Amino acid sequence: MPTYKAPLRDMKFLLNEVFDYPRHYAGLSNGENATPDIVDAILGECGKFCEEVLSPLYQSGDEEGCKLENGEVTTPKGFKEAYDQYVMGGWQGLSAPEEFGGQGLPASMGLFKQEMMGTANWPWSMYPGLSLGAMNTIMLHGSDEQKQTYLVPLTEGRWGGTMCLTEPQCGTDLGQVKTKAEPQADGSYKLTGTKIFISSGDHDLTENIVHIVLARLPDAPKGTRGISLFIVPKFLPDANGGVGERNPVSCGALEKKMGIKASATCVMNFDGAIGYLIGPENKGLECMFTFMNTARIGTAIQGVGPAELSYQWALDYAKERRSMRALSGKKDADQVADALIHHADVRRMLLTQKAIAEGGRAMLYYAAKTADHMVCAHLDGDDEAAEKFDDKLGFLTPILKGFLTELGNEAANLGVQVFGGHGYIREHGMEQIVRDTRIATLYEGTTGIQALDLLGRKVLMMTQGGAVREFTLKVTNFARKHVANKQMRPFAWELLKLAAQWNVLTVRLMLIARKDRDMVSAAANDFLMFSGYVSMAYMWARMAAVAQDKLENGGEESEAFYKAKINTCEFYYERLLPRAQAHATSMLSPSKTLMQMAPEDMAFTG
C-alpha cells in the first residue's frame, strides 16, 4: 500500500529561508512561543502522526465509507481511534487562544498542520477542519456567554463543528435560503428547514456537534439582507457545560458521492431545533464570511495536498516501473528496459506535479503570514488593522482556492497517467486521489464563483484595480532587485513584463465592462487563472533566488536540493507559465461569442 511522507525539508525551506517566519513570529503579539525549535518539534510530531496514523487509513476509509443507521452516522474503522490520538495530542487547539484551552500559537501553524493532515488523509482531516471555522466564527462574532459555552470543548476537540449553508433549492445563491428561525420567549430560536451537502454533519468522533446555521427570522428582508446566523448544537449544553438533552436536528441521509467517501456528507433536518443567534439580526451572511474565508483557504490546501501525494507515489512508481528504452540511449543497461523516469514525457508529468505542489505550497505560506497579522489584529482589538489585512487576504483567497484546486486536479490526473493502466485500478490509490480531489473545485464556491469574486468584487468593484496594483508592486520591486543577476535575470525580466500586463489587462477589462456587463463573467475564469500563474511565477522566482544564493554562498543542505529548486523554476517558466498568455488572449475575447446563441438553439437537434 502506498504511504505518505511529510515534506518537512520543503516546508522548512519556505518557513526559514524564503519567508523568514522566525522574524515574522517574533513580531507577532501571539508569536512569542513559536520559536524555531518549537516549530520544528511541532512539524516533526505532526508529520509522524500523519505518516503513521492517518496515511494508513486513507485507502481503507475509502473502501468502507460512512454508514447511517437509526439516525446515527459511524465513520470507517480506525477513524475514531485516530481522532482520539489527535485530541490527546492537543492538535485542535494549536492556534486557539490560551484562555479557551488552546496553545495560543499563530494561525499559520494550524495551516501547516492542516496541510500535512489533509495530504495524508483528506477525508479524515475534514472532521476537525470544519470545527476550526466554527471556532473562528464564534470567537469573532459570539457573545461572551457563547464563547465560554462552546469554545473550550471545541478547542479541546471534544465537540465538533459544521457550516450549514446549502439547501436543496440553493447553493451559492444564499439569498434563496428558506430555513426559518422562530423567536422564543427565553431568547432562543426554533429552526426549521433542511440543509444539504453538510460535511461532518453527523459522526461518531465527538460527543457533540455545533452547527453554524444560516436561517431567516420572521418578516426578515428578502434576499441576502434578511439572513441571520445561529448556533444549533446536536445536544444542548447542560448547566455545567457538558452534554445535555438531544436537540431535534438529525441526519436524514448520507450523500452518495464520487469521492471523499470516508467524510460524512449529510442531509441535515432541523425540526424545531433550538438555536441561538450569533451576531446581529439579518447580518448572518457577513458573519459567515469569517467561516467562508477560513474554509476557502483550507480548501486551497486540497489543491496542494493531492499534487504532493500524487507526485510522491508517481515518482516512486516511475523509478521502479520499466518500459522501453530511452530515446537518448540505454539508461539501465543491465535491465530488460529503462525505468519510466528516463522518458521525457514522464518527466514532463512529474515535473508538472512537483511545480504545482511546491509552488502552491509557497503561495499558501505567503498568504498565511497575512492571515497571522489579521488574526493578531483581531485578538489585539485593532479593528482597523484587522480590516486592512483582511482586505489583503481577501484578494489572495479566490486565487488560492480557485487556481490551486484546478491545478490540483490536473496534478492528480497526471499521477494516474504516469501509472498508465495501473493508475485506473484501485490497488495503487491513484484513482482515489482523483475522485477525492474533484470536489475541491466545487465546494466553498466553484471556480467560477471564485473568479467572479476576484474580478467582479475584489478587483473592479471594491478597489477599481487597486488590489492588482498593490500586489504587482511587490512583484515588480522583487524583480528589479534581481534583474541584474545573471542567473535570476530571465525570471526577473519575465516577472516585470507579467506585472505590467496584469495591470493593463485589469484596466482594459474595467473599460470594456462599462459597456458590456457580461464581460465580467465572460473574462473572470481566465483572469483568475492568469492571476494564479503569475502569482506562482513570483513564488518560484523567490524560491530560486534563495536557492541560488545558497549555492553561491553555501548552505547547510546539500547542493541537490537547491539545484532541484532552480531546475523546477526553469521548468515552470518554460513549460507552465506560457499558459498565462492563452488566458490573457481569451479574457479579452468579446462576450458575444458566449451570449449570442439563444438558449433554445443550444438544444441537441440530432
| Residue numbers annotated as active site | 444
- Enter the C-alpha cell of residue 17: 529561508
Q: What DSSP letter does each residue of 260-279 carry, written as one string?
A: -TTS-EEEEEEEEEEEEE-S
Residue 366's nearest CA partner among 392, 339, 345 is: 392
- Enter the C-alpha cell of residue 444: 466553498
> Are the C-beta atoms of 43 and 8 separated by less than 8 Å?
yes
Q: Which residues contact 504 (CB under 8 A, 6 or more apart)?
A: none
Q: What DSSP letter does each residue of 112-129 carry, written as one string?
A: HHHHHHHHH-HHHHHHHH
Cα 433 to Cα 82: distance, rounded to the nearest angstrom: 21
Beta bridge partners of 180: 192, 216
Q: Which residue's entry shows cell 425540526?
A: 271
Cα 324 to Cα 327: distance, rounded to the nearest angstrom: 9
Beta bridge partners of 313: none
Q: Which residues contact 164 (CB under 8 A, 6 or more apart)?
A: 195, 198, 201, 211, 212, 213, 214, 232, 268
User: SS3 for 264?
Assistant: coil
Cα 156 to Cα 440: distance, rounded to the nearest angstrom: 28
359 CB neighbour count, 10 Å cutoff: 27
Rounded to 5°, the CA angle 227-232-235 comes to: 170
Amino acid at 309: L
User: SS3 for 245?
Assistant: strand
> Are the C-beta atoms of 217 and 282 separated by less than 8 Å?
yes
- Any idea what DSSP says for residue 278? -
Rounded to 5°, the CA angle 177-180-183 comes to: 145
Angle, in degrees to the nearest 10, between helices 430-438 and 284-320 = 160
User: SS3 for 446?
Assistant: coil
The Cβ-side half-sphere exposure at 311, using a 13 Å CA radius, reads 27
518 CB neighbour count, 10 Å cutoff: 13
